[in-house]
Structure 1
Amino acid sequence: MSARVTMKDIAAELGVSINTVHKALTGKAGVSESVRAKVNDKAEEMGYHRNTSASSLRRKDINLVFCLPCASREGAYFYRYLWEGCNRFEQEVIDQGISIERVEFVVGGYADALEHIDERLQVGEKIDGLLAYVPGDDRATHLLEQIAEAGVAIELVDGDRPHFDRLGASLADYSTAGSLMAEQAANLVHASGADARVLLLAGDPYTDSHYLTARAFHNYLRDHNVPWQVEDLTGAHAQVKQLERELKARLSSSEAPELICSVFAVGSELVADTLVSANKAGEVMVIGNDLFPESALALRRGIFTNIVYKDPVGLAYRGAKTLGDYLLWGKTPADPVQKGAVEMVFASNVDRYCKLAGI
């Protein structure tokens, strides 16, 4: 008896990816009608028969890789909670035949981590799905494209790159985050009667979550005719020392800001530490981003006025669950881009949010 024809065989005959063949044969979006016709014609020619009962239940030997930033050092402020979301998903599927491998990378090491995954695929290792951090440079993007071409289902976390073949993306609503921060900033300044000297720690302009939040902050002020002159301090993890020096200089000047906002977690912690060391805690209004033990403590002590909470635990959990549901049951999300809720945290409700985040 001849061997059963597989999607891999059809892909090899046509010179396309297994993922393309899968989409064509199962009627999913993402391929042109001409490609779909070619795949179906080739499948009929080769005698391919889809096992509908097997496809409805899926294999129980699914291998997932979670590739996210390291949770240590600066990663403890935000990325730790992405991993917590992954932990919660893993506990849910512990008896469902899913094998999960964790790949953590340090700042600047993402492309190297992806290259190693790609090399494993090239030598025949089986990886069904990849929960991947959104790429920030061309090399990481190219490697993710190669991994997708190898037939791996990819779900992005904390951003999106819709131009390549990913299953979907799970991210916070950064536009809402920036607008909410700007609205609360306007409320605080108006209520205090203070002058509007505002300092925005705008983060890394090449990081989606930073750039989009900062842009939305400025757009809100412009659209609502708020006549502030906002000074941006750019820079993120690799520029912490420089940001610290610049922040100290602003605080010690005769025109120190009345309000400081940060679009990212490390910047929020930096603001709290600098205010304490400069003996100015409680003298400046502060809206931080992201909830972690240090920011929650700063809110309780009155160092922060508010915190913008983007629920990284839920963000990663939704991404992992989307990937698992697709590989186990063939379920795809109604909308490939899932945006999580963004909320404003006050001292009065911080305990509730800490409980949700597992802090």
Structure 2
Amino acid sequence: MPAKVTLQDIADALGVSRNTVSKAINNTGVLAEATRQKVLEKAIEMGYKQFSYANSLGDIKNPSFGAKPSASGEIALFTGNFLNNSHFASTMLDKFQHEISLLGYSLTMHRVDQHNLENHSLPLSYRPENTKAIVCIEMFEHSYCEMLCDLGLPVLMIDAPVASYWKPLNADVLLMDNFSNIYTVVNDMSKKGITKIGFVGQVTHCRSFYERFIAFREAMYINNLSFEEKYCLTEIHPHGQDYREYLYKALKNSSELPELFICANDFVALDLIYGLKRLGIECPRDIKIFGFDDSPESKIMTPSLSTSHIHSQVIGYSAANLVISRIEQPDLNYRITYTETDLIYRESTQIL
């Protein structure tokens, strides 16, 4: 059996960089049309798998097959939670499913329960024979994710276990920008005299929560503000149904509260506001609060919540691009991709 043709093989044959070949084949970046044509012609000549149907450059530019290709396999979505509790999952998955369907792939969904996690077993609904890739959402058990990465299939993590920082997974990782807006908020608030700032949320819950905490600490340092452990309510309890009550008890037992809390996400902020109200502390009169994710609740709650808006459709599109490119080019280096977020100021950080 002849060896599989790689991007590097094409680059070596033409005497160009691998990056140039990737741009030409994927039609990304700035590239002279003559160079792109030369690369595509060489790819066809060498039998590169993405163009196995083509006999000439004209077959690529004017393909004879129909607009909608026949199904070419399933992409399996693994999740640790019911996605109807995730504010961005529905919009993101709609976009993801639309993009992969254009290329002939279908989406199957599988919930990973506690039994699966403990026994490193696959959900009963999963069908490996026709699965081309796995996408993980709300999957934060590192050893289980390692097991999935050993199945020999492309894996995309949308967010990831915090342990993936020091024990990298053989997978692509997709995250939103967890840093920029927190830097800006700390800087803006410090200019208004708000210098006692804390963080709320389980830092080890997932990679995004950890990055948001790191962003908070770095922002305090950059702005010459003192980081105080007493203002941080981090590892008080795992996130879940009981978290609100544990957070209230932590607030009640705090010797001093900050002027501003930065929260790991909007739902932590909701639980925080609930606990503060039970103690007779009002936001934003007595304390300011900043969330993350821009959930639907953040717009209609009282007070409305300052937060970071994540672009669900962009995440869906990016996820599809990462998965398909990994299926088509399994020899690519593993990638960590960040999507843009927007800072939104609302009532919860107003200076009264």
Q: Give the 3 Å change call, closer, same or farther, for CA 315–92 of structure 1 in structure 2.
A: closer
Query: Per-residue deviation at 1:68?
Result: 2.5
C-alpha separation in 2, matches of 1:343 and 1:333: 30
For 1:133, give the aligned amino acid.
I
Structure 2 counterparts to residues 144-163 of structure 1, below 5 A: 144-147=148-151, 149=152, 152-159=153-160, 161=164, 163=168
Structure 2 residue 220 is the aligned partner of structure 1 residue 221: yes
Structure 2 counterparts to residues 179-218 of structure 1, below 5 A: 180-191=181-192, 193=193, 196-218=195-217
Normalising by structure 2, what TM-score? 0.67
Structure 2 counterparts to residues 176-325 of structure 1, below 5 A: 176=180, 180-191=181-192, 193=193, 196-230=195-229, 231-235=231-235, 236-238=238-240, 240=243, 241-250=245-254, 255-279=256-280, 280-283=282-285, 284-298=287-301, 301-302=302-303, 304=305, 306-324=306-324
Structure 2 residue 30 is the aligned partner of structure 1 residue 26: no
Match of 1:125 in 2: 129
C-alpha separation in 2, matches of 1:323 and 1:113: 27
Secondary structure at the counterpart of residue 184 of structure 1 = helix
Q: Is the 8 A contact 2:76 2:126 kept in 1?
A: no
Structure 2 counterparts to residues 36-51 of structure 1, below 5 A: none
Match of 1:84 in 2: 91
Secondary structure at the counterpart of residue 4 of structure 2 = helix
Structure 2 residue 122 is the aligned partner of structure 1 residue 116: yes
C-alpha separation in 1, matches of 2:312 and 2:118: 24
Match of 2:76 in 1: 65
For 1:169, give the aligned amino acid.
V
Secondary structure at the counterpart of residue 179 of structure 2 = helix
C-alpha separation in 2, matches of 1:324 and 1:117: 23
For 2:239, give the aligned amino acid.
H
1:147-180 deviations in whole A, cap 9, x for unaligned? 2x2xx221221148584433x221112233xxx3
Q: Give the 3 Å change call, closer, same or farther, for CA 135–89 of structure 1 in structure 2.
A: closer
Q: Give the 3 Å change call, closer, same or farther, for CA 71–185 of structure 1 in structure 2.
A: farther
1:35-91 deviations in whole A, cap 9, x for unaligned? xxxxxxxxxxxxxx987524989973221111134245xx72xx3413421112223
Secondary structure at the counterpart of residue 125 of structure 1 = helix
Q: Give the 3 Å change call, closer, same or farther, for CA 183–99 of structure 1 in structure 2.
A: closer
Secondary structure at the counterpart of residue 128 of structure 1 = strand
Structure 2 residue 116 is the aligned partner of structure 1 residue 137: no
Query: Per-residue deviation at 1:214?
Result: 0.3
Q: Give the 3 Å change call, closer, same or farther, for CA 93–138 of structure 1 in structure 2.
A: closer
Secondary structure at the counterpart of residue 339 of structure 1 = strand
Q: Give the 3 Å change call, closer, same or farther, for CA 183–326 of structure 1 in structure 2.
A: closer
C-alpha separation in 2, matches of 1:302 and 1:322: 38
Q: Give the 3 Å change call, closer, same or farther, for CA 157–112 of structure 1 in structure 2.
A: farther
C-alpha separation in 2, matches of 1:50 and 1:325: 14
Task: Give the aligned CA root-mean-square deviation in angstroms.
Answer: 3.7
C-alpha separation in 1, matches of 2:332 and 2:48: 23
Q: Is the 8 A contact 1:158 1:171 kept in 2?
A: yes
Secondary structure at the counterpart of residue 338 of structure 1 = strand
Q: Give the 3 Å change call, closer, same or farther, for CA 215–321 of structure 1 in structure 2.
A: same
Worse-superposed segment, 256-265 or 212-221 = 256-265
For 1:99, give the aligned amino acid.
S
Structure 2 residue 174 is the aligned partner of structure 1 residue 170: yes
C-alpha separation in 2, matches of 1:333 and 1:142: 19
Q: Is the 8 A contact 1:201 1:234 kept in 2?
A: yes
Q: Which structure is higher in helix share?
A: 1
Q: Is the 8 A contact 1:281 1:303 kept in 2?
A: no
Secondary structure at the counterpart of residue 99 of structure 1 = strand
Query: Per-residue deviation at 1:135?
Result: 5.1
Q: Is the 8 A contact 1:131 1:320 kept in 2?
A: no
Greater relative contact order (Cα < 8 A, sep 6+): 1
Uncovered stretches (5+) of structure 2, i.e. residues with no partner: 9-46, 55-59, 348-352
Query: Per-residue deviation at 1:202?
Result: 3.6
Query: Per-residue deviation at 1:270?
Result: 0.8
C-alpha separation in 2, matches of 1:188 and 1:164: 37
Q: Is the 8 A contact 1:83 1:313 kept in 2?
A: no
Uncovered stretches (5+) of structure 1, i.e. residues with no partner: 8-23, 30-48, 349-359
1:271-326 deviations in whole A, cap 9, x for unaligned? 2323344441332111111211222223xx4353x212333443244113331355
Secondary structure at the counterpart of residue 227 of structure 1 = coil
Q: Is the 8 A contact 1:103 1:113 kept in 2?
A: no
C-alpha separation in 1, matches of 2:190 and 2:101: 50
Q: Is the 8 A contact 2:261 2:289 kept in 1?
A: yes
1:75-124 deviations in whole A, cap 9, x for unaligned? 72xx3413421112223454643221012346x57736972159966xx6
Q: Is the 8 A contact 2:283 2:289 kept in 1?
A: no
